[in-house]
């Protein structure tokens, strides 16, 4: 039984960002994955599963937020070129 201060390392947080991007782009199936991660984040510590589920959740939301931010900024930049003459 650990103290809760274990170091967990991996690339799954980055993969979660990609799933967040997919959901921001309209793929609703990515939300099922998010729901699973939330369930594991709640019940994982009870079962002593050494996986950073909160990193997965944070990565997912970072992907959604950053995608919407960058798309909005890019849309504003391009708007001046798409106005009718």
pTM to 2 decimal places:
0.80
Q: Give the per-residue pLDDT at 13.
A: 87
| φ, ψ of residue 9 in degrees (nearest 5) | -135, 145
15 has a pLDDT exceeding 70: yes
Q: For residue 5, name the pLDDT band (cuts at 50, 70, 90).
A: low
pLDDT digits (tens, 9 = 90+) for 30-81: 999 999 999 988 887 777 777 888 889 999 999 999 999 999 999 998 888 8
Q: How far from chain centre, in Å, is Cα 78?
A: 27
Comparison of pLDDT for 25 and 84, the residue scoring more: 25
Q: Are 59 and 14 contacting, i.e. CB atoms less than 8 angstroms apart?
A: yes
């Amino acid at each position: 039984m650990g103290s809760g201060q274990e170091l967990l390392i991996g690339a799954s947080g980055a993969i979660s960002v990609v799933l967040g991007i997919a959901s921001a782009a309209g793929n609703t199936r990515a939300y099922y994955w998010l729901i699973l991660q939330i369930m594991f984040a709640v019940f994982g510590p009870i079962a002593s599963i050494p996986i950073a589920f909160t990193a997965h959740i944070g990565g997912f939301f970072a992907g959604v937020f950053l995608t919407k931010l960058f798309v909005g900024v890019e849309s504003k930049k391009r708007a001046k070129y798409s106005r009718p003459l």
